[in-house]
Structure 1
Amino acid sequence: MLILCTTASILYGQQQLQGHVYGKDSLALASVSIQNKSTGYGTISSPSGYFELTAHNGDTLLLSAVGYVSMLRIVTKDHLRGQMRLYLKQQVFELNTFQIEQRNHKKDSLATREEYDRIFNYRLPKVGEVIAIMPVGIAVNINQLYKLLSFKKNRDKFRFKDRLIQHEREAYVDHRYTPEVVERWTGLRGDSLAEFIRLYRPSYQFLANAPEYDLLYFIKTAYKQYSDSLQRLAH
């Protein structure tokens, strides 16, 4: 009985999520990785773009495929009742700069904020929003009280909010600290350039308040440290 109760509590709320993944011109995408970030399990889309994955309301899916922009999506009750339809944006490349179209970081950030507006602005209700003292007694807002007491749902939403903010900050760092900028001031290329960017990556907190001069100073200082370390290894 104890084993059955434990198993039932683990599986409670989990359902088999079904869906299709599409790309350019709404064509089905095969071999797309769909990972449930909340459970750690994942699957791959079939040649028709179809996939099945165990999930429950509020889980976060991460979709990724070669040549396409990765995407995060929250599972809702509507998705579990029907079939999920997901569309990935294609990445376009060229030989000299690796990207034909320059990504507009501000536009992308605003689009993400708009798409996940309810998550970014999610907060717990204040006491005055739950309980109101009136001349005839105390009034309780049932909806706000339910929201306040939904501990697991609140925890999941705050975790996803933190992940979105972290993703947004990493995108900002990538927007300013680009391989083109580093190559221009260091002359590094290929594997050396990739290694330098990996080893000397500025933080979001620094770049959020740093003008271009400070970024240039950071790159030059880091390049001197990088060159000195290579010379020590050579000897």
Structure 2
Amino acid sequence: MKVLLRAIALGGILSMAFAPLVQAQVTVTGMISDSNKLVLPYATISNISSGKRSLSDQGGFYKISASRNDRLVFTFVGYKPDTLIVGQSSGTQTTNIIMEPAGKFLKGVEVTSQYTPYQRDSMERRQQYGYILDVPDQPLAGGSTPVGAGIVVSPITRFSKKEKQKRQFKKNYEEMEKQKFIDSRFTPLLVNKVTGLTGDSLHLFMRDNYPDYGTMRALANNDLLYWITDKYKAWVKQGH
């Protein structure tokens, strides 16, 4: 009996000795903004060490769990990636991140390879945020949502914080893509070549005649030149 007890005790000690060590977790939080103090909502925070990912909220606030010495990478479209090495081993580490613009500008209508600069950028953005965009929205509670036939609707699904943020992100992403497309065609370089405007006059004209997404989708390249010309003639008649 004593031998058996000693064996059990020894086995327990050996199990403890060879059990994998569990690293303590630290919550890393802070605000993400750029050098102009503009907060960056829905920036991506990737824990390269653990594979976990998170998004900043609409106010630029982020939170992600990590362990000491984990490497966190912060990315946002149009900005240079930033890296943070977690220094604490437990508790909460608060670190504000200030991201720098990438200085990446579209070059008018220049085309390299089989894609335009806008198309390449758009594909990069789609790949970066695909893990959110590809997640289907949860069924809406109430209203005309079908119930029965195996469909289960949770009243908190529609109004959960995570679901709201996901829906808002998809909406913001769609609007951002539309603006990026407009900016890829209605460029200062192109407007300058058509109108001859420079400096403040160029910026003022582009601000006063900023096109909508539908117009830019409908106009072929030659039609766009005529469109800018007509807008310029009307703008000059207004006394500019």
Aligned amino acid, residue 160 of structure 1: F
Matches within 5 A, 1:178-197: 178-197=187-206
* 5+ long unaligned stretches in structure 2: 1-26, 43-53, 81-101, 141-145
> CA 1:178 to 1:150, structure 2 compared with 1: closer, same or farther past 3 Å?
same
Q: Between Structure 1 and Structure 2, which shows a larger proportion of helix residues?
A: 1
TM-score of the superposition, structure 2-length normalised?
A: 0.53
Distance change (3 Å), C-alpha of 1:176 and 1:145:
same
1:209 is the counterpart of 2:218: yes
Evaluate the alpha carbon distance shift between residue 131 and residue 206 of structure 1 in structure 2; reply closer, same or farther with a 3 A threshold. Answer: same
Following superposition of structure 1 onto structure 2, how do residues 117-128 of structure 1 map, counting pairs within 5 Å? 117-125=130-138
Letter of the 2:73 counterpart? R
CA contact (8 A) 1:57 1:75 kept: yes
Say what the alpha-carbon RMSD is for the aligned residues.
Answer: 4.3
Alignment partner for residue 170 of structure 1, among 153, 171, 179? 179
- Greater radius of gyration (CA): 2
Residue by residue over 1:182-224, the C-alpha shift from the partner in whole angstroms, topping out at 9 and shown as x without a partner, is: 1111111111111101110111111112211221121011101
Aligned 1:99-110 pairs, distance under 5 A? 104-110=117-123
1:156 counterpart letter in structure 2: Q
User: Structure 1, residues 11-42: CA drift from partner, whole Å, max 9, x if none?
Assistant: xxxx8714899xxxxxxxx957462649xxxx
In structure 2, how many angstroms separate the alpha carbons of the residues matched to 1:195 and 1:150? 42
Quick check: 2:28–2:65 contact (8 Å CA) kept in 1? no
Give the aligned partner of residue 166 of structure 2: 157
Matched, 1:35 2:39: yes
Task: Deviation per CA, 1:90-134: give whole Å up to 9, x if none.
Answer: 3269xxx8xxxx98111110111111113323432459xx9885x
| SS state at 1:124 partner | coil
Partner of 1:17: 29
Conserved 8 A contact 1:60-1:75:
no
Q: Is the 8 A contact 2:192 2:198 kept in 1?
A: yes
Preserved CA contact (<8 Å) 2:188 2:202: yes
Amino acid at match of 2:118: H
Contact 1:109 1:168 in 2 (8 A): yes
Counterpart of 1:78 (choices 65, 68, 81) is: 65
Aligned partner of 2:103 in structure 1 is 91
**Deviation, structure 1 residue 57:** 7.0
Distance in 2 between the 1:57 and 1:107 partners? 23
> Do the aligned partners of residues 19 and 60 (structure 1) sit closer, same or farther apart at CA in structure 2, a change above 3 Å counting?
closer
Aligned equivalents of 2:130, 2:163: Cα separation in 1: 16
The alpha carbon displacement at 1:171 in A equals: 0.9
- Paired letter, 1:59: D
Equivalent of residue 59 in structure 1, options 48, 57, 60: 57
Counterpart Cα distance in 2 of 1:75 and 1:105: 29
Q: Is the 8 A contact 2:178 2:213 kept in 1?
A: yes
**SS class of match (1:78):** strand
Q: 1:226 deviation in Å?
A: 1.0
Contact 1:19 1:85 (C-alpha < 8 Å) held by counterparts: no
CA distance in 2, matches of 1:151, 1:222: 46
SS at match of 1:111: helix
